[in-house]
Structures are given as C-alpha cells and as structure tokens.
C-alpha cells in the first residue's frame, strides 16, 4: 500500500457499521452484535487496488472509493445498496463516457458541456486504463441539491512525459447524483499534473457571501496550494487564490478557463526525463494534505492547517506491471528558501480568497482543525501540542503537550452535561515515516518520503488519547 497501512474510518447506517478493508473488501457488520451481514469485493489487491478511505452512507446507499494511484489503478467511486451490498452504480474517474458516467451534453465544466470522449481524448492510447485518479479522500453530500462531491487523485505515472495531455478527469472535483451516479458537473484543478498534487482533499459545503453575493458554495483547499470556491449547484468557479504565499508552480488560475497558468521553470514535464527541476513550491505533500480544515458559521472563516514545504522533482521512465509500484519520479523536500518554519495555521476568507491571519509553526500542521461555537479553534502540532486559539485573531489561548506528535483530528462531544475536547496523538504516514525509519540527523532533511529533520528531538512515536473537560 502507498503511504502507510492507513484506514480513515467507518460509516454507520440502517443499524450497520460499514468497514472498508485494506484488501479492497467492503463489509457490513451488525452494529449491536458485530455479526457480518454482507461482504463485497470492491477491487483486486493483486493489482494494487486497496481501500483506505472511510465509506459514506447516503440515503439507501453506501459510497466507497479506491486507493492505489501509485500502482496504476483506474480510480472510481462505487455505490452499494446498504440493505444487501448489491452494486448500484460504478463511476470511474478516467475512461470512456459510459464508464465515468457522464452525459456529453449535460455534464458541464465551467458552465459548458464537456462533450463526447472528454476523458479518453486527453490520454495517449489506452493509458487511461492505468491512469490513476483514485478516490482515497473524503465525500460530501448536499441533501437539498441531492449531489455528492469528491475529488480525484493524481494521474499515473508521476512522470508527466509518459502521459501527454490533460489526463482528464484526474485532479478533478466531481458533483454526482447519488441515486444514479451520473455527473452533473466537473472541474479539473490541475490538468496534466506534473507534481503529484492529489485533488482528494475535503469539500466543505457552506452558504457564504462570495464577492458580496449569497452563495451555495463548495470550498476546497487543494494540495496544489490554491483555495477554490465554487457554486456547488452549477460548478461555476468563483474564487481561486493561493493560500500559501510560497506557491510558485503557477502564477494564478484563469477565471475564464479555470486553468492554472504554469510557470515553465517549475514544470517537471518541460524539463524532461532524468532532469531535476528544483525549488518547486509546494512539494508533493501539498500546501495542505489530508489534514481537514474547519468552517465556523459564526465567523464565516475557514481554518486551515498547512504545510510550507518545497521540493526538487526528477521524473524517470517506468513500465507498468500489475501490482507493482508505478511511480516514475524521485523527490527531495525542504523548507522554502529563507524560511525556517515548515507550516502555518491560517484563517481564510473563502468569499474573497484572502488570508485573515496566519500562525507560523516549526513543523507542518498535520492535525485536523476544530472550530467551536465559543469562537475557539483547536489544532495539534507535530511536536505534540494541542493548541486553542481565538477564532477572530488567531491569538493563542492555551496549549497542552501530549505524549506524541498529533496528526489526528481534534473532536468535541458532550458527556454528563460537560463539553469534552479529545485528540489522538501518534505519528504515522508521511508525517512520521522519518521517525519510524530513524531519520534524525540534520543532513537527512525531509528526505524523499517526507521525513522531518530532528523531529525526534521534540516528540516520540506511540498513540495516546487525551481528553479535556471544558469548564462551565
């Protein structure tokens, strides 16, 4: 499995716990007894198809994704009937129209029909069959519009020279009807991705003013460093601005075409195979990766944990073999030039595309954010601090040192009439692989897989649940 043996959670519906397994099986358990009620095979692990995303229950269906973009998997989102596990529909990210469940005349991008063969004509030959675009992230649902929203991951391979074209619909936001699976609209954020900027980060649905107009918005902080605000009903792009000033691979996103204006100096494909393109910001782990942001309806502000990391990127030729890694690039990651901090925790105005305030952190902020009605925002740090800050100003109000670095999501609930705040500390995945591998010397830098230099000077491995009770 790529990027650690990860499981991002379970779902509940109709008295059932739905579990995605690493071997690509989906299992429904009786929530009271644990008895297996049904089990379906959603992929072939021998081809590198695994499952790391949490399932999502929408009405009478359970939606599940697939992981394995680094193994040449053809990404997809699949719906199973919650009652018996029978497949309801299967929507691929890349491929022929009938496989990706689009209507060439009705499915739109930027307000215009996508047209016939919108995906396959942007791939060379049959490359779409191993084209990636996996769906290992998160899904959102608007019951009023009856639309499900999610993002697709990087195209395969990481070597852009081997896959000319826009590689649609990898790196794309999809809006689908959960009853039929048909796509209403799409928006591709990073055509012909050259940097592994997976587009799977969470889609936040919020009714906010955008440029002064009340809007049913979808807000998405992509790994590519741009914060996007779209009309979630029509898919119209409203805002696309950098939420990390260090981003340099593109100057801006055109509001007419929706395409980023790429800087040739940082184009890994333009440099060619076996050529090391240097100082690309952000690195492949993105200005924000899996760590979810939060929205406060009271302040109207989004709170975003971010990475501030750049990279050198060298693509090389790779051949596809089923079940084997299909990557085709080596990376080296490090802080932006002239910067000592590897992360920021920011407040973002999605209606204007502007940073409201920003708190610098020595390491990337890998925890999820939590905004509360008390105008307090919580997040965790890789050194292990749980921090509480003022939602309006970002001023730190409280910190507590947990036993290990925090990449988990801060949560809140009420128990015996008291509000509790809880967080699971413990480092894994990209954030902790350096510690797990014993990379602690300054010369190790961030390494090729995201190791943080000397992080062991600040924290340790090991998982601990810490719970706080808020005073009356």
Residue 130 lies in a domain: yes
236 confidence band (pLDDT: 50, 70, 90) = very high
Average pLDDT of the chain, as a whole number: 93
Determine, yes or no, domain membership for 60. Answer: yes
Mean of pLDDT values over 81-95: 98
Does any domain span residue 429?
A: no
Catalytic residues: 196
Closest CA to 389 of 296, 285, 319, 310: 296
Tokens 């921090």 -> residue:
387
Query: 162-214, pLDDT tens digit by residue?
Result: 999 999 999 999 999 999 999 999 999 999 999 999 999 999 999 999 989 99
Range of the domain at 180: 11-365
Q: How far apart are CA 165 and CA 168, in angstroms?
A: 8
pTM for this one? Answer: 0.94
Residue 443 lies in a domain: no
Looking at residue 326, what DSSP letter applies?
-
Residue 434 within any structural domain of the chain: no
Please say whether the beta carbons of 43 and 50 come within 8 A: yes
Number of domains composing the chain: 1
Asked whether residue 338 is domain-assigned, the answer is yes
Q: End-to-end distance of the chain based on CA atoms, in angstroms?
A: 46
Residue whose pair of structure tokens reads 């069959």 in the numeric block: 129
CATH number reported for the structural domain that contains residue 272 in this entry: 2.140.10.10
Label residue 449 by pLDDT band (50, 70, 90). very low
pLDDT confidence band for 371 (50 / 70 / 90)? very high
In a domain, 229, yes or no: yes
Domain annotation covers residue 385: no
90: nearest Cα among 55, 65, 59: 65
The mean per-residue pLDDT over the stretch 386-392 comes to 98
What pLDDT, on the 0 to 100 scale, is given for residue 469? 92
């Amino acid at each position: 499995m790529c990027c650690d043996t990860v499981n991002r959670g379970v779902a509940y519906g109709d008295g059932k716990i739905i579990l995605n397994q690493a071997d690509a099986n989906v299992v429904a358990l009786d929530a009271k007894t644990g008895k297996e009620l049904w089990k379906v095979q959603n992929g072939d692990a021998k081809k590198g198809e695994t499952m790391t995303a949490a399932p999502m229950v929408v009405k009478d269906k359970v939606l599940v994704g697939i992981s394995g973009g680094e193994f040449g998997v053809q990404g997809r989102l699949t719906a199973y009937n919650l009652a018996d596990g029978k497949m309801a529909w299967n929507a691929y990210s890349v491929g022929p129209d009938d496989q990706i469940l689009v209507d060439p005349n009705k499915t739109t991008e930027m307000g215009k029909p996508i047209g016939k063969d919108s995906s396959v004509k942007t791939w060379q030959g049959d490359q779409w069959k191993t084209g990636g675009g996996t769906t290992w992230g998160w899904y959102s649902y608007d019951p009023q519009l009856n639309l499900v929203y999610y993002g697709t991951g990087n195209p395969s391979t990481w070597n852009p020279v081997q896959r000319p074209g826009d590689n649609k619909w990898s790196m794309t936001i999809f809006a689908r009807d959960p009853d039929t699976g048909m796509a209403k609209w799409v928006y591709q954020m990073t055509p012909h991705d050259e940097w592994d900027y997976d587009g799977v980060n969470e889609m936040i649905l919020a009714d906010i003013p955008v440029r002064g107009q009340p809007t049913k918005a979808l807000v998405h902080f992509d790994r590519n460093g741009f914060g996007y605000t779209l009309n979630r009903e029509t898919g119209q792009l409203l805002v696309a601005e950098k939420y990390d000033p260090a981003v340099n691979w593109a100057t801006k996103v055109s509001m007419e075409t929706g395409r980023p204006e790429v800087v040739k100096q940082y184009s890994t494909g333009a440099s060619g195979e076996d050529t090391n393109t240097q100082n690309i910001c952000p690195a492949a782990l993105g200005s924000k990766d899996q760590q979810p942001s939060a929205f406060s309806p009271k302040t109207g502000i989004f709170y975003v944990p971010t990475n501030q990391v750049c990279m050198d990127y060298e693509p090389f030729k790779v051949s596809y073999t089923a079940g084997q890694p299909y990557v085709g690039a080596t990376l080296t990651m490090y802080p932006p030039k002239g910067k000592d901090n590897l992360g920021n925790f920011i407040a973002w105005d999605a209606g204007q595309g502007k940073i409201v305030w920003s708190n610098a952190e020595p390491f990337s902020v890998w925890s999820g954010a939590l905004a509360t009605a008390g105008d307090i925002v919580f997040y965790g740090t890789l050194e292990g601090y749980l921090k509480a800050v003022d939602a309006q100003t970002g001023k730190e109000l409280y910190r507590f040192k947990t036993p290990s670095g925090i990449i988990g999501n801060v949560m809140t609930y009420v128990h015996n009439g008291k509000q509790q705040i809880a967080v699971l500390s413990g480092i894994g995945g990209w954030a902790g692989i350096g510690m797990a591998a014993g990379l602690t010397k300054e010369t190790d830098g961030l390494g090729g897989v995201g190791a943080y230099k000397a992080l062991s000077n600040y924290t340790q491995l090991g998982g601990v649940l810490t719970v706080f009770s808020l005073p009356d």
